[in-house]
Structure 1
Amino acid sequence: MRKNVKKALVIIGIVVVAFFIVSGMFFFTVDQTKQAVVLRFGKITRVIKDAGLYTKTPFLDRVIYIEKRINNYDIQPEEVITSDQKRLRIDNYALWRIDDPKLFVEKVKTIEGAQMRMDDIVYSYLRDILAKHTLSDIISDKRTAYLQQVTLLTRKALKGFGIYTIDVKIKRADLPQTNENAVYQRMKSDRQKVAAMYRAQGEQQAAQIKAEADKKAQIILATAQKQASEYKGEGDAKALEIYANAYNQDPEFYGFWRTLESYKVALATGTTIILSTTSDYLRLLDKGVQSDSKFSK
């Protein structure tokens, strides 16, 4: 009984192994992330882009699996010379995918073969495009437009290899160590010139603003002085008119009042005046003294 069970288990094992061997010879699967190219005697007979289970002819057909997802190729850093004769070490990469599996297998066969093609083509276009522009343009926002040109040219060149170039980007752009300090000093000098120009323009504008302000202040002051003179003249004229009216009403009293007013100014505290006793100017004081003498008697 035990011998029969062991024999049955051996037979089942042989059948299972035979099934997997036979199924591997007659069937193959394509993953969702892959494409498949079936070759017979080195020639492509089928291209399979959809995932699933497929059949093949044993011993005759060979299946090559091709990546369907986006590939990232990190290209080796290379030096380029800008239009202003500056050397830049460009570290860039390219995003691409296999667009035509049949062309891809026929022309480059493997991912490594495709990357060798891309290495030469991308660097060639990158060098040619960047060589037309200055260092300051390349490190500015204009770089995006330059890389778009490189992407379009690379896409067109690699189309015949079944490759679609999605994008070409620069990770970093460094100056070679030998001329890095010289370029930095040049950039610093240029910025200092620009700063000096802005300062000069600012000082010029400040001088113009000050001149305009001084001019307006002089105009305002002259206008005020003119108005003050007019008001003073009107006041003097009014005073003269009042004096004239007062004189016409009582000339003797007017003379008396004006003389007393002059005494307030001429005989102020600490003032000494030497005049003759017969001076007409002292007539009121002399009368006052005589009056005091009479009262004292």
Structure 2
Amino acid sequence: MKKSGILLILLFVALFVVSQVFFTVHQTQYAIVLQLGKPVGGTLSPGLHMKKPLIQTVEFFDKRIQDYDMQPTEVLTSDKKNLVVDSYFKWRITDPLQFYRTVRTIPSARARLDDVIYSELREALGRHTLTEIVAEERGAIMEHITTEASDLVAQYGIELLDVRIKRTELPPQNEQAIFNRMRAERERQAKQYRSEGREEAAKIRSSAEKDRAVIVADARRESDAIRGEGEAEAIKLYAQALEQGPEFYAFQRSLTAYRKSIGNNTRLLLTPENEFLRYFE
């Protein structure tokens, strides 16, 4: 029993010593050895390595590309337009020793990168108009920001790979102002269209009235001509009738006069010798 206990203790001590002396660096990692908080040696390559137990520790860093989503920020363009920009950037550690000496941890590195890129973003976007940022020169602006920020963060052992804008929006107050301006513009266009429509309607109405007047005048002239021809024909017929039978014509005219002048309750004060009564004799 004593020998088994001693063996277990020795095995435990051996495992502890091995865990304190040997360590493995993965392919996706950088590793540096720290002695009393200070780097010792250079960057370790992937594989199995040794360190002094108790007085030395190992710091691991991810060598893969990392991305960081920045908080949306409001910038002022060169044409005095406020713009809310939502962006992100990709970066990676290239010099672990320099990285540890300057920023030490990933959160600190992200904070430093955020400050640098935000400053470059505001400065670069402030030199361009809203249209250039949104459509015309967006790619060139992002490349310029990436280049400028890369030079600034290289001192931290960091390589900045890309800076991109995910989305651009207008501030809420600007959106309302633009909406009001668009509505006013649409109302102005609607009034213009209504005015042009009324003007066109007046022209059409005036043209129709003119055509109507011409048609009515032509119809009246033709009617007067036909009426005149009819009256002339009637006069001609009356004249022919008078020539053929003057006495009969006079008799017919008298009957017509009697029919029109004598009616119910009609009283005529005439002498018996009156010409009007000669056919009553």
Which band: TM-score by shorter chain?
Answer: 0.5 to 0.7
1:61 equivalent to 2:42? Answer no
Q: How far apart, in 1, do the equivalents of 2:116 and 2:164 lie?
A: 14
Q: For residues 186 and 49 of structure 1, do their structure 2 counterparts lie closer, same or farther at Cα, with a shift above 3 Å needed?
A: farther
Match of 2:39 among 40, 44, 53: 44
- Conservation of the 8 A alpha-carbon contact between 1:34 and 1:49: no
CA RMSD of aligned residues (A): 2.4
Aligned AA for 2:113? M
Aligned AA for 2:139? T
1:125 equivalent to 2:112? Answer no
1:137 equivalent to 2:161? Answer no
Identity over aligned pairs, percent: 40
Match of 2:164 among 139, 163, 169: 169
Q: For residues 184 and 137 of structure 1, do their structure 2 counterparts lie closer, same or farther at Cα, with a shift above 3 Å needed?
A: farther
How much has 1:14 moved relative to structure 2? 2.6
Q: How far apart, in 1, do the equivalents of 2:116 and 2:136 lie?
A: 24
Counterpart in 2 of 1:148?
143
Q: How far apart, in 1, do the equivalents of 2:41 and 2:182 lie?
A: 59
Counterpart in 2 of 1:21?
16
Give the 3-state SS of the residue equivalent to 2:112 in structure 1. helix
Give the 3-state SS of the residue equivalent to 1:16 in structure 2. helix
Q: How far apart, in 2, do the equivalents of 1:187 and 1:95 lie?
A: 38
- Name the TM-score, length of structure 1 as normaliser: 0.58
- Conservation of the 8 A alpha-carbon contact between 1:35 and 1:47: no
- Conservation of the 8 A alpha-carbon contact between 2:117 and 2:145: yes
1:98 equivalent to 2:93? Answer yes
- Conservation of the 8 A alpha-carbon contact between 2:23 and 2:49: yes
Q: How far apart, in 2, do the equivalents of 1:86 and 1:65 lie?
A: 45
Aligned AA for 1:28? F
Q: For residues 118 and 139 of structure 1, do their structure 2 counterparts lie closer, same or farther at Cα, with a shift above 3 Å needed?
A: same
Aligned AA for 1:77? P
Alignment of 1:277-288 (within 5 A): none
Alignment of 1:1-297 (within 5 A): 9-184=4-179
Aligned AA for 2:125? L
Displaced runs of 4 or more, over 6 A = none
How much has 1:144 moved relative to structure 2? 1.1
Output one character per residue of 1:197-247: Cα deviation in whole Å (capped at 9) or x when no partner.
xxxxxxxxxxxxxxxxxxxxxxxxxxxxxxxxxxxxxxxxxxxxxxxxxxx
- Conservation of the 8 A alpha-carbon contact between 2:43 and 2:97: no
Q: For residues 62 and 115 of structure 1, do their structure 2 counterparts lie closer, same or farther at Cα, with a shift above 3 Å needed?
A: same
- Conservation of the 8 A alpha-carbon contact between 2:31 and 2:61: yes
Aligned AA for 2:131? S
Give the 3-state SS of the residue equivalent to 1:139 in structure 2. helix
Q: For residues 162 and 187 of structure 1, do their structure 2 counterparts lie closer, same or farther at Cα, with a shift above 3 Å needed?
A: farther
Give the 3-state SS of the residue equivalent to 2:135 in structure 1. coil
- Name the TM-score, length of structure 2 as normaliser: 0.62
Q: For residues 49 and 71 of structure 1, do their structure 2 counterparts lie closer, same or farther at Cα, with a shift above 3 Å needed?
A: farther
The size of the alignment, in residue pairs, is 188
Q: How far apart, in 1, do the equivalents of 2:8 and 2:171 lie?
A: 67
How much has 1:158 moved relative to structure 2? 0.1
Task: Give the gaps of 5 or more residues in structure 2.
Answer: 190-281
Q: How far apart, in 2, do the equivalents of 1:184 and 1:121 lie?
A: 35
